[in-house]
Amino acid sequence: MRLNQIFKREYINADLSAQGKDEALAELVNVVMDGGLQLNTSAIIDILKQRESLGSTGIGEGVAIPHGKISALNEIIVAFGRSRNGIAYHSLDGKPVHLFFLLLAPENSAGQHLKILAKISKMLKDVNFRNKLLEAKSRDELYKIIIEQESACIV
């Protein structure tokens, strides 16, 4: 499955204003809702918080990939958020998070969910990619950078 099939420009927030983890999760879920998804916002946030209670999805290097399985969802959704100031997120390396990829998947999509998670993780290992995301000027530029990186990254 290609990111351009599940990731839309509307699912990008280029300037998150959250100060903490819970606010960041809410802001990321809201960007998906504003982009057209019609589900219970608080239920999704609760699922993401439950996942975070198992261990932080802040993987280090200024990156977090919050994710969860949503029973009412019919397709995998990927969203992106960027915080210029960084957000205290209890990351594995203890550093603030600037780049967020939110992954929401139907409950019965374990294989696809894990493949997308692996693809995003691999893409984010590239420091040049992370820097391009931090420096991008617009939502359109962010979208283009992400889609191009997927094409360049074979998983």
d(CA 96, CA 150): 25
Measured in whole angstroms, the distance separating CA 118 from the mean position of its chain's CA atoms is: 13
Task: Please provide the size of the chain in residues.
Answer: 155
SS3 26: helix
Q: Is 90 considered catalytic here?
A: no
Q: Which of 67, 90, 98, 113 is catalytic?
A: 67
| Residue 88 half-sphere exposure toward CB, CA atoms < 13 A | 2
Q: Are 149 and 143 in contact (CB under 8 A)?
A: no
Catalytic residues: 67
